[in-house]
């Protein structure tokens, strides 16, 4: 068993200072690789050792992957301290009164809304729309509002709605101040979109936060209840919080002021989706007499990589000063490759990766980062030609059609009034039920259908009833296996193409995912809800399969929070990275600084070696263009670079 304080001996002096702080606001400025997760975990244990009840501690992260890592760290420390086993859960630690509540912002919102659906104006069993669902609904809403979806792009309208919700703005409030043409279009579509959400008993990702914020603002008794429940609040990646997330944190902590936030202004890269760096820059104004601790010792990278990163980021003015250092040693110089074109660049990345793997580097420890998604095509082609296993991060497992089909079967079985999910699975697999027939079913005119068609519909409803019975009395994985076979999906996919075989494998992977809920205790309905909620709230990073030994290809944004032995940063050309929008006359200084922060994040993903590359010529949207090397390359001292051939 650990002695009562020995766990703090594992921390450096700055980390320990942060972990030992008990009462009052705390700002931890944590540089990349500075061990912020470790600090939060040890701080939580220290609080418990000092007499704080575990269930009165709340810790919020941004991804399920980060939340799970936090739980595992906290529970390992608690297990060692208490000499007993505390098993981590998947859906948040609110399952037991003996553990801190550790979750994402969205999971927290979902939990509070499911606890108080009536007060929040929601049905008891609501569905959570993923982005694909939301785009589909906005496309429908655009047409209902009298606009052609071909002329008014639904994803663009959805982004505008999302940005407003992130700022705490409701549809009604937005309508009142929408005066220009496009805002008026957004307002009309938004109104129709909200009606669709209500009809389908659904909320979108942004609603999970906005409705939670409004709930805490309007319901004083409820707000006090959760303030009393969670007397110590921790917020990770505070620089990435938007207005609504800021409000939720403030509302939960304003009575006791025991709020500890961890973040790094230099890693703020999400302003385009509403993240406000002012939240961390103004923390001391918002919370007077806050204690500030800066973590500058890096445990991830070599000093060469950190020297490059420090020189790049010091050019930004809007930041909290710090200089990263490490005891890991100098390390190798940063490789620099000048490609003739994108194919030449991609060939260099693939051949170098192949050589690294041949010399013992695990493929999964190599990451190839790019600024824009279109860059992946040339890279994928090079990796395929070289027969190197790779994984493109960004195609979410839970947004694949076949996976969403199975989840729709579950939701349609649980709620007979769920028309959206019923419509999705009515012809999965093909049952010969056409659109006209479906419209009659949804309109309650099933009696008008021919006898044979009524038989088909009756058979589907009987199947859904049997699925519901399975979900209520058997393990979730067993119910999913039943859906796969009884629906006819397995037979259809087995007899299909290679692509269908892969779809079948994806469904089986979903069944494996469901098995983690089979061993958990609790009401069957609660476990099913947790399963559906966790499936809805998975992020791109959650899709990374650690067991798959493949080179990772991803955008820099997707790489945030990850680390790899070897990192390639490709496409370092003016107009691409930094992005072309920076050369527009209307660009702000803040936007320019965000692009530099993005490069800083890319550099600091690497543990051992960084390769930078650019292409002299590149095809962009069908046209060839000549490129100049990125200004970011010239920010790095020449003595840190080594030319690659």
Phi, then psi, of 326 in degrees rounded to 5: -145, 160
Please report where in the chains the tokens 């801190």 appear, as a residue.
100
Q: What pairs with residue 325 in β-bridges?
A: 297
Take residue 489 and report the two structure tokens written for it: 């999906």
CA distances from 268 to 313, 368, 590 (A): 12, 21, 11
d(CA 384, CA 236): 38
* Residues whose CB falls within 8 Å of the CB of residue 4, separated by 6 or more in sequence, listed in order: 49
**Residue 309: closest CA among 294, 324, 330, 329:** 324
Phi, then psi, of 640 in degrees rounded to 5: -90, -10
**Cβ distance 76 to 63 under 8 Å?**
no
Pure H helices in 359-418: 376-385, 401-414
d(CA 146, CA 388): 49
Q: In degrees, to the nearest 5, what angle opens at C-alpha 308 toward C-alphas 307 and 309?
A: 90
d(CA 346, CA 350): 6
Phi-psi region of 563 (alpha: psi -120 to 50; beta: other; left: phi over 0): beta
Phi, then psi, of 564 in degrees rounded to 5: -145, 155
Q: What pairs with residue 568 in β-bridges?
A: 368, 611
**Residue 58: closest CA among 241, 210, 248:** 248
Burial of residue 591 (number of CB atoms within 10 Å: 0-12, 13-18, 19+): middle
Burial of residue 400 (number of CB atoms within 10 Å: 0-12, 13-18, 19+): middle
d(CA 178, CA 188): 10
Pure H helices in 178-302: 181-199, 205-218, 220-229, 243-253, 278-281, 283-286
Q: What is the CA radius of gyration of the chain?
A: 26
**Cβ distance 280 to 262 under 8 Å?**
no
Neighbours of 80 (CB within 10 A): 14
**Cβ distance 349 to 633 under 8 Å?**
no
Take residue 369 and report the two structure tokens written for it: 């980062």
Which residues are tagged catalytic? 36-37, 236-237, 267, 605
Indicate if the alpha-carbon torsion angle 302, 304, 310, 313 is positive or negative.
negative
**Residue 61: closest CA among 263, 205, 251, 257:** 263
Q: Is the peptide bond before 616 cis (omega within 30 degrees of 0)?
A: no
Indicate if the alpha-carbon torsion angle 442, 444, 449, 454 is positive or negative.
positive
**Residue 472 parent element (H or E):** helix 451-473
**Cβ distance 369 to 567 under 8 Å?**
yes
């Amino acid at each position: 068993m650990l002695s009562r304080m020995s766990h703090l001996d594992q921390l450096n002096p700055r980390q320990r200072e942060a972990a030992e702080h008990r009462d009052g606001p705390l700002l931890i400025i944590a540089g990349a690789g500075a061990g912020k997760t470790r600090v939060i975990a040890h701080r939580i244990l220290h609080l418990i050792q000092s007499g704080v009840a575990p269930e009165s501690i709340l810790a919020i992260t941004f991804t399920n992957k980060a939340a799970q890592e936090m739980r595992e760290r906290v529970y390992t420390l608690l297990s060692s301290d208490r000499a007993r086993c505390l098993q981590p859960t998947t859906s948040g630690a609110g399952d037991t009164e003996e553990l801190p509540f550790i979750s994402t912002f969205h999971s927290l919102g979902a939990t509070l809304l499911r606890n108080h659906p009536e007060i929040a104006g929601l049905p008891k069993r609501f569905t959570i729309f993923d982005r694909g669902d939301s785009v589909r609904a906005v496309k429908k809403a655009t047409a209902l509002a009298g606009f052609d979806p071909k002329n008014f792009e639904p994803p663009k309208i959805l982004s505008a709605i999302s940005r407003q919700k992130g700022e705490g703005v409701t549809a009604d409030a937005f309508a009142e101040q929408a005066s220009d043409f496009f805002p008026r279009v957004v307002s009309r579509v938004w109104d129709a979109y909200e009606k669709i959400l209500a009809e389908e008993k659904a909320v979108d990702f942004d609603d999970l936060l906005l409705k939670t914020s409004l709930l805490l603002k309007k319901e004083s008794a409820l707000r006090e209840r959760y303030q009393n429940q969670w007397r110590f609040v921790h917020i990770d990646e505070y620089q990435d919080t938007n207005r609504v997330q800021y409000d939720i944190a403030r509302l939960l902590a304003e009575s006791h002021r025991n709020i500890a936030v961890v973040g790094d202004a230099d890693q703020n890269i999400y302003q385009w989706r509403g993240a406000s760096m002012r939240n961390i820059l103004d923390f001391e104004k918002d919370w007077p007499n806050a204690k500030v601790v800066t973590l500058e010792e890096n445990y991830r990278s070599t000093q060469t990589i950190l020297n490059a990163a420090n020189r790049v980021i010091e050019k930004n003015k809007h930041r909290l000063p710090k200089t990263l250092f490490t005891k890991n040693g100098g390390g190798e110089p940063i490789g620099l490759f000048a490609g003739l074109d994108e194919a030449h660049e991609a060939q260099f990345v693939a051949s170098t990766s192949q050589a690294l793997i041949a010399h013992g580097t695990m493929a999964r420890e190599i990451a190839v980062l790019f600024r824009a998604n279109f860059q992946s095509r040339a890279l994928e082609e090079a990796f395929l030609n070289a027969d190197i296993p790779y994984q493109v991060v960004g195609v979410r497992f839970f947004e694949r059609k076949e996976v969403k089909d199975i989840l729709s079967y579950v939701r349609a079985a649980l709620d007979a009034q769920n028309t959206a999910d019923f419509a999705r699975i009515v012809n999965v697999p093909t049952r010969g039920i056409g659109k006209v027939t479906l419209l009659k079913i949804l309109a309650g005119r099933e009696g008008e259908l021919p006898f044979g068609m009524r038989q088909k519909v009756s058979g589907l409803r009987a199947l859904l009833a049997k699925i519901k019975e399975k979900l209520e009395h058997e393990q979730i994985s067993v119910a999913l296996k039943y859906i796969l076979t009884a629906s006819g999906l397995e037979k259809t996919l087995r007899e299909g193409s290679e692509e269908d075989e892969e779809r079948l494998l994806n469904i089986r992977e979903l069944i494996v995912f469901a098995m983690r809920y089979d061993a958990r205790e609790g009401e069957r309905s609660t476990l099913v809800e947790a399963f559906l909620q966790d499936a809805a709230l998975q992020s791109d990073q959650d899709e990374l399969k650690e067991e798959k030994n493949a080179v990772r290809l991803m955008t820099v944004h997707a790489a945030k929070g990850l680390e790899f032995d070897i990192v390639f940063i490709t496409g370092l050309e003016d107009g691409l990275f930094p992005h072309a929008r920076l050369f527009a006359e209307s660009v702000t200084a803040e936007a320019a600084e965000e692009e530099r922060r993005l490069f800083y994040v890319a550099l600091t993903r690497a543990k051992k070696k960084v390769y930078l590359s650019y292409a002299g010529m590149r095809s962009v949207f069908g046209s060839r263009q000549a490129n100049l090397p990125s200004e970011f390359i010239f920010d790095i001292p020449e003595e840190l670079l080594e030319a690659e051939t």
